[in-house]
Amino acid sequence: MDFDSIVLTIIAGLSVFGLVRVLDGPTVWDRMLGFALFSSKVIVAAVFIGIIINRTYMIDVALIYGVLGFIGTIMIARFVERKGDV
């Protein structure tokens, strides 16, 4: 259990709390906020996995996940803001 995998487990634990906020968030925006927090943890975890297995393709996975997560958040925000008729 070297340093990187300890940090990876800590980040995985923290990301669960982001999902708890998605579960019990009173408003839909709290849920989107919890998801944004969770996706940032997933990006960091992907970069750490890339470093642990020493392969560079995991960094691309983190990059693409970041872009798609961002687009998803923008679209959901637009959908909620316009009450359905985007």
Rounded Cα distance between 63 and 3, Å, is 23
Is 27 a binding residue for other proteins by CB under 8 A? The answer is: yes
List Cβ neighbours of 44 (8 Å cut-off, separation of 6 or more). Answer: 11, 62
- CB distance 36 to 19 below 8 Å: no
- Could you tell me how many residues of this chain bind other proteins (CB under 8 A)? 40
Rounded CA-CA distance 65/42 in Å is 8
The one among 3, 23, 53, 84 contacting other proteins by CB under 8 A: 3
Instruction: Give the binding site for other proteins (CB under 8 A).
Output: 3, 7, 10-11, 14, 17-18, 20-21, 27, 29-30, 32-34, 36-37, 40-41, 43-44, 47-48, 51, 56, 59-60, 62-63, 66-67, 69-70, 73-74, 77-78, 80-81, 83
